Amino acid sequence: MAKKTKNAQYFEGIGRRKFAVARVRLYLVNRSKTAEVNGQSMKAGDCLINDQALATLPLSSWEKNFLLSPLRLTENLERFVVTVMVSGGGKNGQIEAIVHGLARAIELVDRAQYRPILKNQGLLRRDARTRERRKVGTGGKARRVKQSPKR
């Protein structure tokens, strides 16, 4: 479950999808619209994914819009600096894990205001579909049946 840290500088949410896990942190910006993140000053609206700016990542415009959808729905695009550490899984699993973690972190900011918005869009629900395990006696795949000998 996502939890609020004792240090009130950021809100943290953990998102998961398939084998991907994303740790998302929302840093509050000060009056000059900057936030101190790991010793460097960043502007409001900046997003770092695995220490790389979102703009420099090889993502399509649809993927970038989907990544920021929880911020856009709650009208918080320019309110936070977002940092993400994501590992495991593939590209789509990681993107969906980031969105899940982002929604959980935004929920911590103001539960009464943001939870209904995010819940209606289905962003707080963890998608439980994962890869089916391989069964013993099959020909190398989860559901494939071994071919029987003809003679």
Q: How big is the chain by its Cα radius of gyration, in Å?
A: 19
Q: Encoding tokens for residue 83? A: 């940092």
Q: How far apart are CA 84 and CA 33, in angstroms?
A: 20
Domain boundaries, the chain: 10-120
Q: How far apart are CA 90 and CA 141, in angstroms?
A: 19
Q: Which residues pair with 52 in a beta bridge?
A: 49
The reported pLDDT for the residue numbered 5 is 47
Strands ordered across the beta sheet of 52-53: 10-17, 20-28, 80-87, 47-49, 52-53
The reported pLDDT for the residue numbered 4 is 54
Q: What is the mean pLDDT of each run of 10 residues along the chain (151 residues)?
A: 60 95 92 81 89 92 94 91 94 96 94 94 93 89 88 75
The reported pLDDT for the residue numbered 95 is 96
The reported pLDDT for the residue numbered 2 is 60
CB 103 within 8 A of CB 69: no
DSSP, collapsed to helix, strand or coil, labels residue 25 as strand
CATH topology of domain 10-120: Ribosomal Protein S5; domain 2 (3.30.230)
